Amino acid sequence: MKQKDKLCVPDLSDLSMSFCSPPVIVRTILLMGQRGGHQESKKLEISPSETMKAEDYKEDRGPKSEDWRPPSVFGVADLKNRAVGLYNIGQTCCLNSLLQVFFMNIHFTKILRRISVPVYGTQKRNNVPYQMLLLLEKMQCGKQKAVSPRELAICLLGHRVEMFVQCDAAQLFLTLWNLLKKQIRNPELVGKLSDLYTISVQEHLACQICSSETTRNSSMLTLPVPLLDSESYMLKTLEECLQCFFHPEELTGHNMCFCEHCGKKTPFQQSVKLVHLPQTLTIHLKRFCFGRSAYIHKINNRLPFPQDLDFSAVLTEQQYQAYDNEKAAWQYELFAVVAHSGSTSCGHYCAYIRSLTECKWYSFNDSIVEQVSWDDVRSTYGHSDLNWGQTAYLLFYMKKHPQ
């Protein structure tokens, strides 16, 4: 009988986030939904996390080829017919699902196997990229059908990441990415990691009286798209959710901002324009929202998502700020789905991932890994009558023709 893990609201206190009021453009992590059907702030700031001191690492300052790798370590995604599970060691289904998504991404494992190795034992135990590399090697070298992520989980505990408790996949994904970026010492690899996952947007805040405008470039790790529109009606497709996310928002009434040019609070229009999409695009479906009584509930309603996604066909000219050659490369293919089953108080995570070497879909449910069909992946679309069934929560798309 599978242990049912509880799902919690993201605890943002350890992520050093700053919440600002208008007229400053807000850059926050999205809570998992809308309050009263309306969108909350749309932006996400990639936040700092703890890092090791430079002297704790043994840097390889000589040139490294792209094919360099530690002995015997190449990566789960490079192997055919060799999918390995991860044991649930106490409410770690969320961590296990995200790790499998990382490890099945050939572009990520190519970065991971080039990291510099810390010198001392203590630093090795506290280094997240290194512990992920060791786990990857353990998955690849052993003959077991599943291995334990215990050492990595203990390493994450040392960085104040709550383990063995209820988790939210979107928050944990951000936390893991921040730790990876901060603890990889090679600037070239940090740049490659950012190119692989980071979304670039341009934020706009315009006064509706004097037309003065504030513009700022920003980065996001995920696109947190709503499932409800501004009138609290269910959106019917992923494309509609994306259009809703990039649709300008009117700030009126209690949401008016102070305009320095007008010298008073005035109505503003807030919008986000897409500038650049990464090789691996992560979309966060905001299935968790606040009801009128401030009680968080889950939206199980059906939301189809396509295998192929062309952003240039989804967005209007007013919703992007990009060159034509950038826009021409906005064609994606679905790579992975992290699905949640259950409710806000009790649930479980698993991952559906398409092997980049075999082009076959696999289900990663903790220690159980098995090949599945596209119809099995489509079962995560959701349904309003679901009590326990799986619904997609994070979607990972891979660029078809990387530049």
Among 138, 126, 68, 71, residue whose Cα is nearest residue 99? 138
On whether the CB atoms of residues 335 and 396 are closer than 8 A, the answer is: yes
Among 43, 47, 46, 48, residue whose Cα is nearest residue 27? 43
Q: Give strand pairing partners of 249.
A: 270
Among 7, 27, 34, residue whose Cα is nearest residue 287? 34
Q: Annotated catalytic residue: which of 107, 204, 276, 348?
A: 348
278, 280, 281, 287: CA torsion to nearest 10: -150
Query: If you count them, how many residues does the chain have?
Result: 403
CA distances (Å), 133 to each of 44, 67, 98, 100, in order?
28, 16, 15, 13
On whether the CB atoms of residues 368 and 85 are closer than 8 A, the answer is: yes
Q: Annotated catalytic residue: which of 20, 93, 257, 297?
A: 93
Active site residue 159: no
Rounded-to-integer distance, Cα 253 and Cα 255, Å: 5
Parallel, antiparallel, or unpaired for β 199-207 and 361-365? unpaired
On whether the CB atoms of residues 98 and 282 are closer than 8 A, the answer is: no
Residue 26 DSSP class: P
Q: Where are the alpha helices (DSSP H) in 86-127?
A: 93-103, 106-112, 121-126
Active site residue 93: yes
Q: Give the helix/strand (H/E) hosting 269.
A: strand 268-276
Among 240, 199, 192, residue whose Cα is nearest residue 218? 199
User: What is the phi/psi pair of residue 104, to 5°?
Assistant: -85, -5
Q: How many CB atoms lie within 10 A of CB 79?
A: 15
Rounded-to-integer distance, Cα 89 and Cα 96, Å: 10
Catalytic positions are 93, 348
